[in-house]
């Protein structure tokens, strides 16, 4: 049995699709920080108010609203003659050059008025969210159910390495290249992903249940059928509520991290050092342990244990708020949070993937991940006003309490509607 298990592991590692999945993870991760933490670090140095910094969370609304245009990637052929590459790859080849161009525009916006930077960041977020739709659909349609966990692990590894580069890496590089040079470096890295899309194989998707002709019929096939199929399942309302509440506590905490660190006296170099390699190592460890837990104790118990751990670990922010700028506490907080977030995300994404019907992969997965991002880009936008009103220690205590509703909802769902295998 040990020999068979070892042979299976070698077979998985040799699977070319997993390496492509990791590269697609890099493509998805590089632009994310440019409308999030890295952007707020840049704006913090431009002396933007705490309230305005909080509102920049709304730039990422594209990640929440992407379900509105996800049906187009299921139903509409890629533009510019790219349909010959297939539906998933064709759309990626249409999106990725435009995304690189928008990152270049963001890099060059620093000398202009603030609105140009915000507009460029919003365009980066829109194109990045659209790319995510196509990549998620490619993953779910390419890998069989038994390899979905490995595919997600490969994706998250690439994703996190990319976030290190466009997060801590870009922040550190800004010290010697300037912000424009640093972001142009990210754009150059993002352009390297285009050959990956060209060499990837187009997946064979499940047949659509509706052959739509005419605008009304196409709209029904694209939007109504995927939603009706999902909402017709037992417990759909509870599942939607849980997915929307899952990130509420982390949304409150995460949006304010850049000004929080700065208020404690941590400069750009300290933030980059803490969120760089140490954060990446802990993230990778969290992914590995999370994947192992799902396989070892089952998805339901993994969701419970990792969710409770994630909520408890948010107390590290309260400790940091009282630490008076202690660098050791900063490192401990960043490393702990990186580990537990990756731990919880491994189970959560596996759960979301299993909820999707492959007949409506892009639409349903986009809807679920949009709901998961809802708190970050709505309630999270007002976190600056709350932090300014109550101070950092109380703010992070409230953020930790905000994780409780999601945990309660998860316990109800797992008791009444346990996870099922992926739908075909």
Q: Note the pLDDT tens digit of each residue in 180-201.
A: 999 999 999 999 989 999 988 8
Strand partners, 32: none
**Residues in contact with 267: Cβ distance below 8 Å, sequence separation at least 6, in sequence order:** none
CATH of the domain at 341: 1.20.1250.20
Residue-wise DSSP of 242-284: HHHHTTHHHHHHHHTHHHHHHHTT--HHHHHHHHTHHHHHHHH
CB 367 within 8 A of CB 330: no
Write down the pLDDT at residue 361.
Answer: 67
Q: Token pair 């352009």 is at which residue?
A: 191
Alpha-carbon gap, residue 366 to 101, rounded angstroms:
24
148's tokens: 């979905």
Alpha-carbon gap, residue 334 to 314, rounded angstroms:
10
- Indicate if the pLDDT at residue 219 is higher than 80: no
Mean pLDDT calculated for residue range 76-95: 87
Number of domains in the chain: 1
Domain with 398, as residue range(s), is 16-203+221-416
Write down the pLDDT at residue 229.
Answer: 78
* Residue whose C-alpha is closest to residue 131's, from 66, 85, 79, 195: 66
Write down the pLDDT at residue 216.
Answer: 62
* For the ranges 56-70, 72-86, 115-129, 336-350, the one whose mean pLDDT is highest: 115-129
Residue 215 inside a domain? The answer is no
Residue 5 inside a domain? The answer is no
Burial class (CB in 10 A: 0-12, 13-18, 19+), 64: buried
Mean pLDDT calculated for residue range 32-37: 82
Between 56 and 143, name the one with better pLDDT: 143
Residue 97 inside a domain? The answer is yes
Alpha-carbon gap, residue 408 to 224, rounded angstroms:
30
Mean pLDDT calculated for residue range 78-98: 89
Alpha-carbon gap, residue 117 to 120, rounded angstroms:
5
Question: Comparing 99-108, 221-230, 409-418, which segment has the lowest mean pLDDT?
Answer: 221-230
- Indicate if the pLDDT at residue 5 is higher than 60: no
Between 392 and 276, name the one with better pLDDT: 392
CB 41 within 8 A of CB 268: yes
Residue 1 inside a domain? The answer is no
- Indicate if the pLDDT at residue 2 is higher than 60: no
Banded pLDDT at 177 (limits 50, 70, 90): confident
Write down the pLDDT at residue 188.
Answer: 93
Mean pLDDT calculated for residue range 159-186: 87
Between 254 and 389, name the one with better pLDDT: 389
Alpha-carbon gap, residue 352 to 420, rounded angstroms:
11
333's tokens: 């907080």
Write down the pLDDT at residue 423.
Answer: 47
Alpha-carbon gap, residue 192 to 205, rounded angstroms:
27
Write down the pLDDT at residue 99.
Answer: 95
Question: Comparing 177-186, 272-281, 376-385, which segment has the lowest mean pLDDT?
Answer: 376-385
Residue 298 inside a domain? The answer is yes
- Indicate if the pLDDT at residue 128 is higher than 90: yes
Alpha-carbon gap, residue 55 to 77, rounded angstroms:
36
Which is it for the CA torsion 399, 26, 78, 74, positive or negative?
negative
Write down the pLDDT at residue 24.
Answer: 92
Residue 369 inside a domain? The answer is yes
Residue 421 inside a domain? The answer is no
Write down the pLDDT at residue 94.
Answer: 93
Residue 208 inside a domain? The answer is no
With a pLDDT cut of 90, the percent of the chain lying above it is 15
Strand ranges, E, within 152-232: none
Alpha-carbon gap, residue 335 to 325, rounded angstroms:
16
Between 360 and 285, name the one with better pLDDT: 285
Helix axes 148-164, 16-32, angle to 10 degrees: 40
Backbone torsions φ then ψ of 296, nearest 5 degrees: -80, -45
Report pTM: 0.64
């Amino acid at each position: 049995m040990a020999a068979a298990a070892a042979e299976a592991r070698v077979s998985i590692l040799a699977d070319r699709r997993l390496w492509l999945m990791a590269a697609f993870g890099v493509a998805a991760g590089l632009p994310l920080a440019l409308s999030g933490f890295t952007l707020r670090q840049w704006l913090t140095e431009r002396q933007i108010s705490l309230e305005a910094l909080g509102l920049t969370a709304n730039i990422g609304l594209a990640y929440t609203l992407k379900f509105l245009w996800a049906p187009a990637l299921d139903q509409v052929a890629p533009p510019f003659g790219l349909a010959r590459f297939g539906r998933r790859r064709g759309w990626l080849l249409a999106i990725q050059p435009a995304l690189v161009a928008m990152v270049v525009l963001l890099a060059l916006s620093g000398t202009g008025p603030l609105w140009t930077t915000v507009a460029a960041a919003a365009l980066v977020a829109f194109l990045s969210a659209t790319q995510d739709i196509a990549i998620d659909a490619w993953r779910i349609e390419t890998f069989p159910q038994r390899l979905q966990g490995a595919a997600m692990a490969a994706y998250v590894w690439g994703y996190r390495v990319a976030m290190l580069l466009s997060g801590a890496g870009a922040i550190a590089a800004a010290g010697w290249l300037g912000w424009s040079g640093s972001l142009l470096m990210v754009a150059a890295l993002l352009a390297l992903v285009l050959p990956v899309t060209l060499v990837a194989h187009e997946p064979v998707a499940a047949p659509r249940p509706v052959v739509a002709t005419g605008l009304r019929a196409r709209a029904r096939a694209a939007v109504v059928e995927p939603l009706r199929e999902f909402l017709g399942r037992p417990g759909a309302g509870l599942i939607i509520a849980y997915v929307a509440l899952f990130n509420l506590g982390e949304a409150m905490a995460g949006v304010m991290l850049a000004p929080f660190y700065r208020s404690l006296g941590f400069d750009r170099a300290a933030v980059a050092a803490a969120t760089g390699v140490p954060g990446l190592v802990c993230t990778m460890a969290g992914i590995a342990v999370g994947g192992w837990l799902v396989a070892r104790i089952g998805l339901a118990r993994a969701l419970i244990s990792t969710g409770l751990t994630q909520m408890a670990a948010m107390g590290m922010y309260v400790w940091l708020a009282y630490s008076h700028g202690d660098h050791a506490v900063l490192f401990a907080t960043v490393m702990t949070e990186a580990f537990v977030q990756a731990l919880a995300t491994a189970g959560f994404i596996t759960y979301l993937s299993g909820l999707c019907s492959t007949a409506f992969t892009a639409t349903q997965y986009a809807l679920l991940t949009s709901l998961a991002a809802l708190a970050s880009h709505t309630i999270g936008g007002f976190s600056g006003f709350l932090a300014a009103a109550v101070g950092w220690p109380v703010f992070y205590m409230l953020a930790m309490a905000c994780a409780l509703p999601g945990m309660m909802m998860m316990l109800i769902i797992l008791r009444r509607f346990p996870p099922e295998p992926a739908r075909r």
